[in-house]
Amino acid sequence: MGFRPWLHREAEKLHLNGWCRNTGQGVEMEAEGEECDLQSLIADLKNPDEIPPLAEIHDVACRTVSPKGDTGFIILASKAGSHDTLIAPDLAICDDCRRELSTPGDRRYRYPFINCTNCGPRFTIIREVPYDRPKTSMGKFPMCPDCAREYKDITNRRYHAQPDCCDVCGPEISFISGKISCTKEDAVAEAKKLLAGGGILAIKGLGGFHLACLCDDETVIRLRKRKERNGKPFAIMCRDIPAAEKFCNISEAEKKILDGPRKPIVLLDKKDPYAYAGLSRSDTVGIMLPYTPLHILLFENTPYDALVMTSANLSEKPVIFRNEEALNELEGIADGFLLHNRDILRRCDDSLVQVIGNREVFYRRSRGYTPAPLYLHFDADHILALGSEQKASFAIGKGKRVFMSQHIGDLKNIETLSFYETQIHDFENLFGVKAETLVCDLHPDYLSTRYASERSKTDGLKLIQVQHHHAHMASCMADNGLNEPCIGIIFDGTGLGTDSTIWGSEILYGDYRHVERFASLKPIPLPGGDAVTEEIGRTAFSLSYISGLDEETASCTSEKNKIFKMMITKNINSPLSSGMGRMFDGVYSLITGVQYAGYEGEAAVLLECLANRSRDEREHFVYSWENDGVLRMDWRVMIRDLMKQKEEGVSSSVLAMRFHNTMIEWACEACRNAGNQTGIRTVVLSGGSFFNRIMTEGIVRKLEEEQYTVYTHHRVSPGDEGIALGQLAAAKAML
Ligand code: ZN
Ligand code: ZN
Ligand code: FE
């Protein structure tokens, strides 16, 4: 972003002549001048403090050519035939623009669409490439003479900034609530009044609408009721870091990402784990800082310094991003609307990360990151990976680059499925790459699998299917640029196995092409199948019943028990699953007696929170092994041990921590056996269970002590959103 203009300025500074241009492979530059000036150019290119803040240099390759006698320096049009493949993500307002925004007398003082070469919207306003203003949703706002002058002035920080605009020529905001309707400054004033008075405001942002309101319990409960969202946590937007520190403890590394150019939602530890239960029932709350000029204006001289800021979507549908849609669908939910007339051309939700070490671990890689490519250590040209289903994503390869989609959502929702299909088409156009090979999950009912098989038929494309946990493993290997055979510890909710049963706690070994299943959990019967993800008491009963415990100890009502028991023994709609997610659900229910989860995965989060209260606990429960061709951790002994300790009065948090320790213990034991058998010393961790910090840190620490090299995810999500990358890598190897 802003790289060619920077090169241009650099060339002028060093008195170099020549040109630069974008190619499919990167930026190409030809420069002639004094030897020492050429050397300082190369030195600057390799110095992260010299290059523009958002540029990422992967490699600098130089070659000597004979001087052409060029005079001056120019930016050439992108190489013919090669798409200008790099489209920048939408970035948060930069410090320079923020300064202008708050400087009285500046011609963009308090203008809500201020942006420059280093910041502002990109991905969400581009209609087609090459990236020029007429091909963006800024096309309908011709630049005024002042803006045009800046755009053409190489010394100006808005040189070649396509979305550049000002109050004279650019978009404007408007506010609508009941009979009130106003624009510009009045709109901001009315919006702030509505928020301060406890109202719910729909705000049009960069990649979609938010619903915003105060953070107090009463307002939050009203928002939950109207949005029909019971358990799921709400993210908040805080005025600044000090405001965020009232809620959470924030490390230096977290501050850097929270306040960096991408400004994702960062999951942070609450100061008081029991506080703000209305926002989230766990120990963490998702916080972001204002990232558009409009957000900043909404926090100017206000009585509040934090607002709930949640994606405006209804019942699992994708986020709303058009004005009319918002006005229609949010009627009765929002008390007012803060709109603008710059169209959002494609949705892009807020990214959600947790900071571990100094880096992001992605729950959701979206705004601020998409569509910046990931660079691979292999060529994945023309491979389209279709991802999973519930946390859908896709990835398309172009040379050594892979473009990962933004957050999509659950494909079982019809609008989401259509968003997914549109985005695939959109990415193929934007990045100038047509799929030649398709790769999808093994599950025949995933809508991503159906898309792949239908498209492979209609377009005559090759189709490869990769088992879910193999894809997770390959994803972590590709994430870390690994080529050697690895052991994969893959813990997640569910995924179809090669034996047609549901897998989910897998110790695998192998490479991109092929894996062997070395160990797993003894399968758990799930009475009612998918019903267990919400009614976790069913899994608790199953664990307890199979462990041979008196049914009374399973915390279910006895009438229900009889039915579940019948379902399990007669094998009626009780699929077997070795999913770690289900094990967490069941154990949480056994320890606490809670029968229902607010949303899928909540029990696992809450079990980790419980364990956090006893982080120093070192004991684990007893467990044993059985072997049915695959080594199986037999949890029956563990469940009996757990329930005995519970009866003896061991506290819930100690039980929760001992359960975590048990999972860490058996995973490491299995890994050690696999290592001894194969000689492999490299381990990758993947799957949604590795959002759990106790599990991740525990396994990493233990295996490193035993001289294993352990890798976790940093560029894509450990969860299902990340498997498209693994599918792509596996398909490449299989081809
Ligand atoms: Zn800026
Ligand atoms: Zn202007
Ligand atoms: Fe998964």
Q: Are 452 and 420 in contact (CB under 8 A)?
A: no
**How far apart are alpha carbons 380 and 395 in whole angstroms?**
10
Rg (Cα) of the chain, in Å, rounded? Answer: 27
- Structure confidence at residue 509 (pLDDT): 98
Distance 293 CA to ligand 1 centre (A): 10
Q: In percent, how much of the chain has pLDDT > 70?
A: 97
Q: State the virtual CA torsion across 262, 263, 265, 268 in degrees, nearest 10.
A: 120
**Distance from the first to the final alpha carbon of the chain:** 34
**How far apart are alpha carbons 410 and 414 in whole angstroms?**
9
476 half-sphere exposure, CB direction, 13 A CA radius: 31
pLDDT > 80? residue 437:
yes
Q: Which listed ligand is nearest to 688 at the C-alpha?
A: 3
Using pLDDT thresholds of 50, 70 and 90, give the confidence band for residue 166: very high
* Residues facing residue 288 across a β-bridge: 237
Compute the C-alpha angle 521/524/527, nearest 5°.
165
- Structure confidence at residue 132 (pLDDT): 84
Distance 407 CA to ligand 2 centre (A): 33
Distance 142 CA to ligand 2 centre (A): 8
CA nearest 385: which of 459, 480, 455?
A: 455
**How far apart are alpha carbons 161 and 14 in whole angstroms?**
23
Q: Are 367 and 348 in contact (CB under 8 A)?
A: yes
- Structure confidence at residue 83 (pLDDT): 56
Distance 688 CA to ligand 3 centre (A): 6
pLDDT > 70? residue 81:
no
Distance 115 CA to ligand 1 centre (A): 4
- Structure confidence at residue 353 (pLDDT): 98
Rounded to an integer, the average pLDDT of 333-357 is 96
> How confident is the model over 348-364, as pLDDT tens digits?
999 999 998 788 999 99
* Residues facing residue 491 across a β-bridge: 505
Distance 113 CA to ligand 2 centre (A): 11
For residue 376, the 8-state DSSP code is P
**How far apart are alpha carbons 373 and 87 in whole angstroms?**
9
Distance 90 CA to ligand 2 centre (A): 21
- Structure confidence at residue 80 (pLDDT): 56
For residue 35, the 8-state DSSP code is H
- Structure confidence at residue 79 (pLDDT): 67
Lowest mean pLDDT among 475-489, 561-575, 642-656: 561-575
**How far apart are alpha carbons 60 and 76 in whole angstroms?**
19
Q: Which listed ligand is nearest to 491 at the C-alpha?
A: 3
Distance 162 CA to ligand 2 centre (A): 12
Which residue would you say has higher pLDDT here, 86 or 682? Answer: 682
Distance 155 CA to ligand 1 centre (A): 15
Distance 108 CA to ligand 2 centre (A): 9
Q: Which listed ligand is nearest to 143 at the C-alpha?
A: 2
Rounded to an integer, the average pLDDT of 40-53 is 89
Compute the C-alpha angle 113/117/120, nearest 5°.
35
Question: 3-class DSSP state for residue 594?
Answer: coil
> How confident is the model over 682-717, as pLDDT tens digits?
999 999 999 999 999 999 999 999 999 999 999 999
Q: Which listed ligand is nearest to 580 at the C-alpha?
A: 3
- Structure confidence at residue 26 (pLDDT): 74
Q: How many CB atoms lie within 10 A of CB 76?
A: 14
Lowest mean pLDDT among 227-231, 361-365, 645-649: 227-231
Q: Which listed ligand is nearest to 133 at the C-alpha?
A: 2
Rounded to an integer, the average pLDDT of 638-644 is 97
Distance 156 CA to ligand 1 centre (A): 12
Q: How many CB atoms lie within 10 A of CB 171?
A: 18
Rounded to an integer, the average pLDDT of 507-529 is 97
Lowest mean pLDDT among 14-18, 154-158, 574-578, 582-586: 154-158
Rounded to an integer, the average pLDDT of 645-665 is 98
Location of structure tokens 């915003």: 212
Distance 192 CA to ligand 1 centre (A): 24
DSSP 412-430: TSHHHHHHHHHHHHHHHHH
Q: Which listed ligand is nearest to 442 at the C-alpha?
A: 3
Distance 288 CA to ligand 3 centre (A): 27
Maximum C-alpha span of the chain? 90
CA nearest 31: which of 60, 1, 2?
A: 60
Distance 388 CA to ligand 1 centre (A): 36
Using pLDDT thresholds of 50, 70 and 90, give the confidence band for residue 27: confident
- Structure confidence at residue 349 (pLDDT): 98
**How far apart are alpha carbons 626 and 557 in whole angstroms?**
31
Distance 116 CA to ligand 1 centre (A): 4
- Structure confidence at residue 556 (pLDDT): 53
Q: Which listed ligand is nearest to 171 at the C-alpha?
A: 2
Distance 92 CA to ligand 1 centre (A): 8
- Which residues place a Cβ less than 5 A from the ion ligand 2? 144, 147, 166, 168-169
Average pLDDT of the chain, as a whole number: 94
pTM score, two decimals? 0.94
- Structure confidence at residue 85 (pLDDT): 58
Residue 232 Cα distances to 195, 280, 325, 591, 612, angstroms: 22, 7, 24, 22, 20
- Structure confidence at residue 553 (pLDDT): 57
What stretches of 409-523 adopt beta strand conformation (E)?
Answer: 437-441, 462-466, 486-496, 502-510, 515-521
Using pLDDT thresholds of 50, 70 and 90, give the confidence band for residue 84: low
Q: Which listed ligand is nearest to 93 at the C-alpha?
A: 1
Rounded to an integer, the average pLDDT of 670-674 is 98
Q: Which listed ligand is nearest to 387 at the C-alpha?
A: 3
pLDDT > 90? residue 48:
no
The encoded tokens of residue 49 equal 């403090």
Distance 261 CA to ligand 3 centre (A): 30
**How far apart are alpha carbons 675 and 624 in whole angstroms?**
19
Distance 168 CA to ligand 2 centre (A): 5
Q: In percent, how much of the chain has pLDDT > 90?
A: 86
Using pLDDT thresholds of 50, 70 and 90, give the confidence band for residue 87: confident
Question: 3-class DSSP state for residue 346?
Answer: coil
Q: Which listed ligand is nearest to 115 at the C-alpha?
A: 1
* Residues facing residue 687 across a β-bridge: none
Rounded to an integer, the average pLDDT of 617-637 is 97
Using pLDDT thresholds of 50, 70 and 90, give the confidence band for residue 154: confident
pLDDT > 60? residue 94:
yes
Distance 169 CA to ligand 1 centre (A): 17
Q: Which listed ligand is nearest to 138 at the C-alpha?
A: 2
pLDDT > 90? residue 131:
no
